Structure 1
Amino acid sequence: MVENRVVQGRMVTPKKLAEIVEGESVMEADSIEEADRDCPDCGGDVLKVGYMPSVTAFITGYKCQDCDWREREE
Structure 2
Amino acid sequence: MSNRVVQGRMVTPAKLAELVEGEPVLETEDIADADRDCPDCGGDVISVGYMPSVTEFVTGYKCQECDWADDDR
Shorter-chain TM-score range: over 0.9
The aligned length equals: 73
Cα deviations by residue, 1:14-73 (Å, 9 ceiling, x for unpaired)? 010000000001000000000010000000000000000000000000000000000011
Q: CA RMSD in A?
A: 0.5
Q: Note if 1:51 corresponds to 2:50.
A: yes
- Give the TM-score normalised by structure 1: 0.97
- Other-structure match for 1:64: 63
- Other-structure match for 1:21: 20
- The residue type equivalent to 1:28 in the other structure is E
- 2: CA distance, partners of 1:4 / 1:49: 11
Q: Segments of 4+ in structure 1 off by > 6 A?
A: none
- 2: CA distance, partners of 1:69 / 1:43: 10
Unaligned residue ranges in structure 1 (runs of 5+): none
- Other-structure match for 1:3: 2
